[in-house]
Amino acid sequence: MSYPNPAAIFTRSWSLYDLLTEHNYMFHREIYAGVDELLSLRDDSPYRLLDLGCGNARYLAPCLMRIPPTLYRGVDLSETALAEAHEYLAELPGEVVLTQGDLLDAVESTAESWDVLFTGFALHHLMTDQKARFFRAAGRSLSEKGWLILVDVVREENQDRETYLEGYLRFMHEKWTEVPRDQLEEACAHVREHDYPEPLSTLQEMARQAGLSHMRLTGRHAQHHTLLFTRSATSAMKKG
């Protein structure tokens, strides 16, 4: 890929991301409680999950322990995060494969069919055309009743990127009080340089064009959204 590596800040210092999640600055506890509940709504058939930009899988791993996939494949650019993911995923009963790589390359190159694609706080690093490619690849690689679960930051409708950034950077300065000043400034620079969130309507249209015609907002905490994309409203849902 030719675009700058947006994960570089966490590749250098994965401890910064752990600090953010430890203090719940990005609502990981609430978000992954929702992901856990969402996965519990799947039917009871075996499923295969591809986690794109998996990080250390610290928050997804407990969800998977309760609803384990037969195959979990995680892809991330950070060797440090993947090493930690080995530990967090060690108790999963199914097969676990962890691969260092780019999430867009991974989903575009996979020849396998996946029942769940998951990506958390990663898609907003891609440019708009790259996001469209991501959705097209997701549509190709998902099984007929497959799910795309997207956890990410989202812009308001008709809000430009600069206005979004002003609000998010203000949120960081006001709320991320336990982050050392130098790391906070590095994180702010990362957000300003690499964050390109889309409004919901753009994500929904990209998904629709990829054959994922149903979008469900399953959770929202400030700018942080959890979205479920499927081919139909009842795809792989439990009956009754």
In tens, the pLDDT along 102-131 reads 999 999 999 999 999 999 999 999 999 999
Cα–Cα dist 32/235, whole Å? 21
Helix ranges (H only) for the chain are 8-12, 14-22, 28-40, 60-66, 79-88, 103-109, 128-141, 161-175, 181-194, 200-209
Q: What is the CATH number of the domain that holds 15?
A: 3.40.50.150
Domain assignment present for 20: yes
**Enclosing domain of residue 63:** 8-219
Q: Does the residue 97 lie in any domain?
A: yes
* pLDDT in the model for residue 240: 58
Quote the strand ranges of 136-223, DSSP E: 142-153, 214-221
Mean pLDDT, to the nearest integer, of 94-104? 97
Q: Is residue 32 part of a domain?
A: yes
- Show Cβ contacts of residue 59 under 8 Å, excluding neighbours closer than 6 positions: 21, 28, 31, 32, 120
- The tally of domains found in the chain comes to 1
pLDDT in tens, 199-214: 999 999 999 999 999 9
